[in-house]
Structure 1
Amino acid sequence: MTVAATADTLAFEPPAPIPRNTPPSRLEVIRTLFRNPLELWGEPSYSEPVIQAKFFGQLTTIVNHPGLIRHVLVDNAANYGMQPVRQLVLRPILRDGLLTAEGDTWKRSRKAMAPVFTPRHARGFANQMLEQSMKFADGMQGSAKAGAEVNVSQEMTELTFAILAETLFSGEIVRTAGNFAEHVDKLLHTMGRIDPMDLLQAPSFVPRVTRWAGQRPLNHFRRIVAETMEQRRPRIADCTAPRDFLTLLLELEGPDGLTREEIEDNILTFIGAGHETTARSLAWTLYLLAEAPHFRAQVEAEVDRVVTSGADPVEWLELLPHTRAAFEEAMRLYPPAPNLGRAPLKDDVWTDENGRRYEMPEGEAVLVMPWVLHRHKLYWDKPRQFVPERFLPGNREKIGRFQYLPFGAGPRICIGATFALQEAVIALAVLLNRFRFETTINTKPWPVQRLTVQPLAGLPLRVSERQDRRS
């Protein structure tokens, strides 16, 4: 069922690939998947509930129907493993981290980390998130006074890393020379993309020439993890270590817990990728608000009122519905995880409400793609336009659980969803209370799929002090 967009915002359609009207050739498929998978999908992907077609000799099911999405991700999730191509891309980076682990390894890791990310525990991080956001805003003050152009894609990566370091690692992540955001960009733009050998499902030991340049930034992150672990171990031994995420993981090492390698992989997952989804969504939100000044004015009035009220930051998520709506709409248009690839472990069959049967054979590809689903004509009014009002209270409740998947669904739903939402709303409130972000002649973002949906060549915006702020 289409969710109507009751929007006052002037129509604004942010940049995105136009759906194809003709099927690509085999060579074009390879080129497009390497360059930008978001440009591959045709008009039927955005208008049909289910599509089944041969793709490199493999039956591929593109799933948009909410009922089948629920079947794959929730009701019969035990029968669906991670899609091999996805694993060939991500496992060289994250190995047995939470995003890529499967089976018993994933179960042990998920169980070990769950206590840190309960909603109650996540709310306990609110003051640290506020403190780091204010420090970051102080550092941006000079650029704002000068009305400078800044790359908000990199800036938000630095901000979310600072929040991650303080909340989950008590500020004790080892920092090395160089810009953290630049290291992330280099890693994802080399390692985080499909190689032609992945499409052929060549074994992992077959070299991926396109990823050779990514080994250096990957080694950089592995070095950060190793040094961070070694610095913390003596403090655990003498009982002076903070009771944070890092300590929790290191204390789980042993025959009945996690291996040393699994701990390292999970720390890398959170340092190198765990903050990345929030960072990109924050940058897209600032850009979308810059292009929608009417809604931005409502957000600014809202954050002025709440920030100056003295309300506890733990309450901001509920007190800032317009701010949250802008962020959620940004995640709809530019979903943090654009593709949730699965593969049946055994033959599976699903029947829709009209009695049509869909067979999904063992080992074949089943694609649940938030990028396509979130822009689907059957489920959204004005699907390609920025309409944050659809996420305001009264409208948000009409959105089906399985038509909006910014954090996935089922057993493998993002463990840090509550953490990320709270972090984003607090960060946006601090930044938008003090600054105004506007587009410039250089603001020409184009979304590309790597690990997340990123703006190609960055996202430059002019930042200035707000002259109309309530303080």
Structure 2
Amino acid sequence: MDMRPDPFVPPAPVPRTVPPSRLEIIRTILRNPLELWGEPSYTLPFIKTKFFRERTIIVNDPGLIKHVLVDNAANYRMSDIRQLILRPILRDGLLTAEGEVWKRSRKAVAPVFTPRHANGFAGQMLRQSEDYIRKYEVAGSAGKTFEIASDMAELTFAILADTLFSGEIVTSSDSFADDVNALLHRMGRVDPLDLLRAPSWVPRVTRIGGQKVLEKFRTIVRETMDARLLRMEEDRDATPEDFLTLLLDQAKSGGLTNAEIEDNILTFIGAGHETTARALAWTLYCVANTPHIRDAMEEEIDRVLATGAEPVKWLDLMPYTRAAFEEALRLYPPAPSINRAAISDDRWTNEKGETVEIEAGVTVLIMPWTLHRHELYWDKPRAYMPERFLPENRAKISRFQFLPFGAGPRVCIGATFALQEAVIALAVMMHRFRFDMTDETNPWPVQKLTTQPQNGLPMRVTPRAHA
């Protein structure tokens, strides 16, 4: 008899059974796009539809996803709505640039994320995680409640600042999580004028409140650049050879313009930690609701740490901890949608000989949110089951069935960085403390660029007995 408890099903919108009206579509997109999708999005390989007279295909079939993102990626540009939302914030940063500008930025940034940096990054991730959790030492044996969603944003920002900027971002992290939330709340959502394809120069009323925060971020970037340039001029040999220095050197060699460097720094400061922070918070929440999974993680973490293994090896030595994080990435993908638009007519034929026609101008929506919960590709798709991602089971998961970091030429350049960061942070936190639900813990996933817990994630933090 199987004595394992029923798997935990964390909160998520129930698929719609009745198509929404045009007014409902607008209201839902403004409130929370995750609540828009109906049963066909979770049960069919693809759906052709129209949003406000715009031809759209929602793609879930892994083979068709591979075709769009990899095999014929050159035929698909960023969709208009995505760019209308992101370009006012990031301009020509790596997430929003296209064509030659994107190629130059990708080439400039790539050296920072090569394997040779892994040892240094792991040590810095460990140190920052250990420094941050000292705040939980005041919790005492009875436990104290902390806002974990904000805490994870602060922790990942501290890691980002140390690893990529050598701790020299000209800002204090005291209010940084609040600033990021304000920026995404005001700037990171669809405005009705976006749906109507109004030109970008037409003011968006919903984003007016975000301009002040955006300018604050831009000021931080400029001051950070100026301070590092001064240091490079005064003593180049003593200047850290990090992400910031690498980008600024690009200006001297003509690889990137000063404006493009500013955009890329803002992209990594504003978005480089945000996705990992959200996934860490959701992981701690899901684990708190599954004691048997928490027990397995604690056993693994305690055993590996007892060996004295270097943190750079933890990602490989802690497969269950990694699986728990990846399962949270599946259920709550930080980037819940990937949007493209066909440049020319295209077609794709599956192994059964069935052909899908994609006409020029059609918007292609690849939705990790629906794909990761799709009934065709996952067993018990709404349940939290980390064992899916254990080494012996990973072969059952198609490369294009699980897309937390995208795929193809524009795959997230920091994917390995994020996985390593997450496992190290989880190991440090869960070795010393337990994170439990409180009466106020009632998160609801809402899309504001990333998948965030509406109502926050208050959790009780208690030292573990051995700590």
Q: TM-score, normalised by structure 2?
A: 0.97
Relative to structure 1, is the Cα distance of residues 7 and 185 closer, same or farther in structure 2, using a 3 angstrom cutoff?
farther
Structure 2 residue matching 1:247: 3-state secondary structure: helix
Over the aligned positions, Cα root-mean-square deviation in angstroms equals 1.4
- Deviation, 1:452, is 0.7
- Deviation, 1:178, is 4.9
Alignment match of 1:130 (pick from 103, 115, 126): 126
Which shows bigger deviation, 224-233 or 234-243?
Answer: 234-243
Contact 1:9/1:295, CA 8 A, preserved across alignment: no
Post-superposition Cα deviations, 1:255-290, rounded to whole Å, max 9, x if no partner, equal 731111110010000111111000000000000000
- Separation in 2, partners of 1:133, 1:177: 15
Structure 2 residue matching 1:463: 3-state secondary structure: strand
**Who is 1:217 aligned against?**
213
- Separation in 2, partners of 1:92, 1:15: 32
- Deviation, 1:340, is 0.4
**Who is 2:176 aligned against?**
180
- Separation in 1, partners of 2:376, 2:233: 57
**Who is 1:375 aligned against?**
373
**Who is 1:82 aligned against?**
78
Relative to structure 1, is the Cα distance of residues 130 and 9 closer, same or farther in structure 2, using a 3 angstrom cutoff?
farther
Structure 2 residue matching 1:126: 3-state secondary structure: helix
- Deviation, 1:11, is 1.6
**Who is 1:249 aligned against?**
247
**Who is 2:93 aligned against?**
97
- Separation in 1, partners of 2:91, 2:60: 29
**Who is 1:339 aligned against?**
337
- Deviation, 1:8, is 4.4
Q: Percent identity?
A: 65
Contact 1:7/1:387, CA 8 A, preserved across alignment: no
- Separation in 2, partners of 1:97, 1:146: 46
One-letter identity of the residue aligned with 1:207: P
- Deviation, 1:308, is 2.4
Q: Does 1:156 align with 2:152?
A: yes
- Separation in 2, partners of 1:270, 1:441: 35
Q: Does 1:267 align with 2:265?
A: yes
- Deviation, 1:301, is 0.9
- Deviation, 1:362, is 1.6
Alignment match of 2:419 (pick from 418, 421, 430): 421
- Separation in 1, partners of 2:170, 2:4: 47
- Separation in 2, partners of 1:45, 1:176: 42
**Who is 1:3 aligned against?**
none
Relative to structure 1, is the Cα distance of residues 178 and 306 closer, same or farther in structure 2, using a 3 angstrom cutoff?
closer
Alignment match of 2:111 (pick from 98, 103, 115): 115
Q: Which runs of 4+ in 1 moved over 4 A?
A: 6-9
**Who is 1:319 aligned against?**
317
Post-superposition Cα deviations, 1:98-148, rounded to whole Å, max 9, x if no partner, equal 011100000000000101112332343101100000001112211355511
- Deviation, 1:235, is 1.4
Contact 1:119/1:419, CA 8 A, preserved across alignment: no
Contact 1:119/1:418, CA 8 A, preserved across alignment: no
- Separation in 2, partners of 1:124, 1:135: 17
Contact 1:187/1:214, CA 8 A, preserved across alignment: yes
One-letter identity of the residue aligned with 1:14: P
Relative to structure 1, is the Cα distance of residues 129 and 277 closer, same or farther in structure 2, using a 3 angstrom cutoff?
same
Structure 2 residue matching 1:252: 3-state secondary structure: helix
Post-superposition Cα deviations, 1:42-69, rounded to whole Å, max 9, x if no partner, equal 0000000011012110111000001100
One-letter identity of the residue aligned with 2:164: L
Equivalent positions of 1:192-207 (< 5 A) are 192-207=188-203
Q: What are structure 1's unaligned runs of at least 5 residues?
A: 1-5
Contact 1:47/1:377, CA 8 A, preserved across alignment: yes
**Who is 2:464 aligned against?**
466
Post-superposition Cα deviations, 1:336-381, rounded to whole Å, max 9, x if no partner, equal 1100000011111112223222221222210111000000000000
One-letter identity of the residue aligned with 2:207: R
- Deviation, 1:306, is 1.3
One-letter identity of the residue aligned with 2:265: I
One-letter identity of the residue aligned with 1:172: E
Post-superposition Cα deviations, 1:359-417, rounded to whole Å, max 9, x if no partner, equal 21222210111000000000000000000111111011211101000100000000000
Q: Does 1:140 align with 2:136?
A: yes
- Separation in 2, partners of 1:210, 1:64: 31
Aligned residues: 464
**Who is 2:289 aligned against?**
291
Post-superposition Cα deviations, 1:35-90, rounded to whole Å, max 9, x if no partner, equal 10000000000000011012110111000001100000000001111111011011
